[in-house]
Amino acid sequence: MGELQTCSWKQLKLRAGLPTDTDGGSFLMFNGQPFVDHYKILQVSPKCDARGLEAAYRLLAKRYHPDHAETADVTKFNEVIKAYNALRSAKKRAEYNILYATRTGFDFSEKDEMDDGQSAYDDADAHEKILHFLYTKRRENAQDAGIGRYYVQKMLNCSDNHFEFHLWYLKAKGLIEITENGTLAITIDGVDHVISMSRTAMREKLLIAQAIDRQGQA
């Protein structure tokens, strides 16, 4: 039997960035217990938010899915499924972060700027929100599909600089346009993009759900 290691519960909670106002006694661990770095498997920062975690999971699950002819990898696919299941619940993730902090020395309480990967996830999410917002308006009134910039930015709740970046990108890609009245409207390419992404998302959810069911039955 492996040697037991006793650590201060308060110290572990501080390192994991969790509240310390409750007494948890001591945290006991076996030195020889296998440790799996779920964040490394999902290729995300331990500080990424739930949205970034899900985005990484969907991307990797799609890449390694057994039905994907070019990049299928059953072992990695199962690892991704297990990693996401271990972190998707806020409670389970908080508990895992305590173990993660002790095994890796990572300090969750330290404040740092958002990394480039997380920024990219947030930008992609903002672009999809804008397109879906404008898509809905276009479907309601195809001939008068413009929405004022103020309302789009208010929907995103972002800074002026970030909003201008999002508009620059979507206009450069030909997905949105500025109408004669100065409002924002989705283009035909933007509509095609929204429909294509919706179909892809539905297929991904179905494939992943089927894979999880098969894994549970194994």
Whole-angstrom CA distances from 192 to 132, 195, 199, 215 are 11, 5, 11, 35
Instruction: Give me the sign of the Cα torsion angle 67, 205, 41, 103.
Output: negative
At residue 41, the pLDDT reads: 93
At residue 26, the pLDDT reads: 34
In the chain, domain spans: 4-112, 116-198
The better pLDDT of the pair 12, 57 is held by 57
At residue 9, the pLDDT reads: 45
How much of the chain is in helix, strand and coil states, percent to nearest 5? Answer: 60, 10, 30
Helix (H) or strand (E) run with residue 62 in it: helix 50-64
Read off the tokens for 108.
Answer: 């969750």
Task: Find the mean pLDDT for residues 60-77.
Answer: 85
Model confidence at 212: pLDDT above 70: no
Superfamily of domain 4-112: DnaJ domain (1.10.287.110)
Q: Alpha-carbon distance 113 to 125, whole Å?
A: 19
Model confidence at 6: pLDDT above 50: no
Range scoring the smallest mean pLDDT among 2-6, 113-117, 181-185: 2-6
Model confidence at 140: pLDDT above 80: yes
Model confidence at 187: pLDDT above 60: yes
Q: What is the pLDDT of residues 13-50, one digit of tens each?
A: 555 554 444 333 333 343 445 889 999 999 888 888 88
At residue 110, the pLDDT reads: 63
At residue 117, the pLDDT reads: 52
Confidence at 112, pLDDT banded by 50, 70, 90: low
Q: Percent of the chain at pLDDT above 90? A: 31
The mean of the pLDDT values for the chain is: 79
The answer to whether 64 and 72 have CB atoms below 8 angstroms apart is yes
Confidence at 1, pLDDT banded by 50, 70, 90: very low
Whole-angstrom CA distances from 169 to 6, 38, 130, 137 are 52, 33, 12, 20
- Kindly report the pTM of this predicted structure: 0.51
Task: Find the mean pLDDT for residues 88-101.
Answer: 89
Confidence at 179, pLDDT banded by 50, 70, 90: very high
Task: Find the mean pLDDT for residues 9-16.
Answer: 51
* Secondary structure (DSSP) of 122-172: HHHHHHHHHHHHHHHHHHH-TTS--B-HHHHHHHHT--HHHHHHHHHHHHH
Architecture of domain 116-198: Orthogonal Bundle (1.10)
